[in-house]
Amino acid sequence: MLALMLGIIGGVAGLVIYSGSRSSGGEATTSQQPEPGGSVEVPTENGTATVSIGEIDWDANEEVAAASGANDAPPEGHVYVIVPVTMTYAGSGEFTGWFDITVTFVGADGQEYSSDSALVDDDLYLQPSITDGGTTSGNLVFLVAVEATEGGEFHVSTWETDEPRSIPAA
C-alpha cells in the first residue's frame, strides 16, 4: 500500500514539476513585483484561489528524514526546505490545491526550484479537494542549493495565469 501511495505521489509530483517550469533552459524567470503580505490571488478554471505562504523551515533535513524512510538524504550543498501553504477557493465546482496551483521557489542563486517528491507530515499532496469558500493547508518540500536560501521568492501560477504571481521569501 505504501509503495502504491508513493508511486501516486511521485507521479503527481512529476506532473507538478513538469508543469511548474515555465522557463526554458533552466534560466531564471521574471515576474511582476512581489505582492506584500505573503499571499496572492490567482485565477482558476472556475474562480479564484488565494494562496498564502507560512513560516518557512529553511533547514528541514531532519524533519524530512524523520517523516519517511523512503526520503533520500539531500545531496552535498543542498538542503530541504518545508513551506507551509494555505489556499482558499472562491468559485464553482471542486478545487484541488496540489493539482490546480503550481508553487515554485526562485532562489537567491537565480534558479527556479520545483517542489520535491519527498513525503512530509501534513503534505499538501495528501489534502482533499475543496469547494467554494473552503480552505486547504499543507506543506510543500523543496530541495535547493544552500546558497539559494538567502532570499528569493515564491512563484504561484495556474493554467490560467500568463505570468506567475510572486510572494517574497521571508
Q: Which residues pair with 135 in a beta bridge?
A: 88
- Residue-wise pLDDT for 33-54, tens only, equals 444 358 999 999 999 999 999 9
- Nearest residue to 98 via CA among 121, 127, 78: 127
Predicted local confidence at residue 15, as pLDDT: 36
How many Å from the N-terminal Cα to the C-terminal Cα in the chain?
38
Predicted local confidence at residue 28, as pLDDT: 37
- Residue-wise pLDDT for 48-75, tens only, equals 999 999 999 999 999 999 999 999 999 9
- Residue-wise pLDDT for 81-137, tens only, equals 999 999 999 999 999 999 999 999 999 999 999 999 999 999 999 999 999 999 999
- In the block, cell 524533519 appears at 63
Assigned C-alpha cell, 75: 545531496
Rounded Cα distance between 78 and 141, Å, is: 13
Give me the amino acid identity at 99. Answer: F
Domains and CATH numbers, the chain: 2-23+39-168 (2.60.40.1240)
CA angle 153-154-155, nearest 5°?
Answer: 120
Query: Which letter does DSSP use for residue 77 in this model?
Result: T
